Every structure is written in C-alpha cells, then in structure tokens.
Amino acid sequence: MGFELPRFAKCCFCIPLKIGVLLIGYFSMIASCFTLATVSYSIYRVHSYVEETTVRPTPQQNPNQVSQNALSLYISFGYYLLVFLYNFVINLILVIGVHKNNTKYMRFYFTATQILFALSIALVVVTAVFMGFLATVPVLKWSFTLLACLVIVRSYYLSIEEERKKPAVYELQPYTPVPQGPTMA
C-alpha cells in the first residue's frame, strides 16, 4: 500500500518551480558546507579536549570516561560527515540537472534523496542515543525540510516530463500559390 506525494505548481506558493528547485539545490550545498565545517571543528575540539584531559587529569574527570564519551561523539560526528557529504554531492547533481534540463539527474536526485531521508531518520536516532533530545530537534527539523524539498523537486521533474511527452504543436500556414511563368515549349 502506498500513497502519492502531493504536487505543487509553484515553490512556496509564489516562486516558479525551476527557480525554487535551484534555490533548494544551492542553499542545501551551502548549508552542507557549513555543517561539514562545523562538525570538523567540533571533532578538532573534542580531540584537543581529550588530549588535554589525558595530559592533565583532574579528580572530577576520569580519563577513561572522557575517552569513552569522546568515542561516542566521534561516531556521531563521523555519521554527520558522511550524511552531509552525501547531501552535498546529490545537491550538486540536482543543480547540474536543472541547469541542463536533464531528467536523469533529477530522477537520480529523487532516488538519492529518499535514501538520504532514511539516513536522516537514522541520524535522528543516533543523535538521540549519543547526544540527547535537545541535539535531536534540529536534525528532526532538517529531516522534515528534506521531505518538503523532495516533494518540490518531484513536482518540477513531473512538469518537465509532461512537457516532453506533449505532442508537437504544428501551425498551419495559409497556402499562397506560387505564380507560374509561361512554360516554353
């Protein structure tokens, strides 16, 4: 049993679909780059904190406990890096496909985003387990935003497919006979 996703004629009820899909692609690439940079910096900060506590342990912090907590953060951050690098690549493919009006790229984006949506739900679970509920809320909002973007890109893909499947429109021109000159015999 399945259900059909809704179909939109405009993005956000006022922007043409092509521009909306391009905005989604570019904004997602920029957001992925910022997220990759932030997560990389967070990995660096966790690593430097672990090194500092192993060199100068304090009575409140057990070095084994700190390294165990750091390992769970490394797992979470590694998964973040994987998901957002994947997001960057498929959005790059989307932008190229929209600029070239290539439906194969958009169909690939649709399939890849469905996989990314499943990965984002897994990311919600991983974040809830290792980082707590408050860290889960932004990832959950991102997952629902990803679903909305998926619907908009699908709407644009279907509109392009319908345009291509329409029969060609031929315009009839009025017939004007060409004047014939006298024939020589």
CATH code for the domain of 122? 1.20.1440
* Rounded (10°) CA dihedral 141, 136, 45, 85: -50
Residue length, the chain?
185
Helix H or strand E encompassing 14: none
Q: How many domains does the chain have?
A: 1
Burial letters for 121-150: b for 16+ Cβ neighbours within 10 Å, e otherwise?
eebbebbbebeeeeebeebbebbeebeebb
Q: Has residue 2 got a pLDDT over 80? A: no
Q: First CA to last CA across the chain, in angstroms?
A: 80
Farthest-apart Cα atoms in the chain, separation: 120
For 55-104, what is each residue's pLDDT tens digit?
Answer: 777 777 777 788 888 888 888 899 889 989 999 999 999 999 999 999 99
Domain assignment of residue 73, yes or no? yes
Q: Is residue 171 part of a domain?
A: no
Tell me which residue range forms the domain holding 124. Answer: 17-56+67-164
In a domain, 148, yes or no: yes
The H-or-E segment that residue 11 falls in is: strand 10-11
Bridge partners (DSSP) listed for residue 15: 11
Phi, psi for 167 (deg, rounded to 5): -70, 150
In this prediction, residue 1 carries a pLDDT of 54
> HSE (CB half, 13 Å, CA atoms) of 10?
5
Q: In this predicted model, what pLDDT tens digit does every residue of 163-184 receive, in sequence order?
A: 888 887 777 778 888 877 777 7
The mean pLDDT value of the chain amounts to 87
Is 180 a domain residue? no
Lowest mean pLDDT among 10-14, 40-44, 86-90: 10-14
Residue 95 covered by a domain: yes
Residue 183 lies in a domain: no
Q: Is residue 31 part of a domain?
A: yes
* Residue 5 domain flag: no
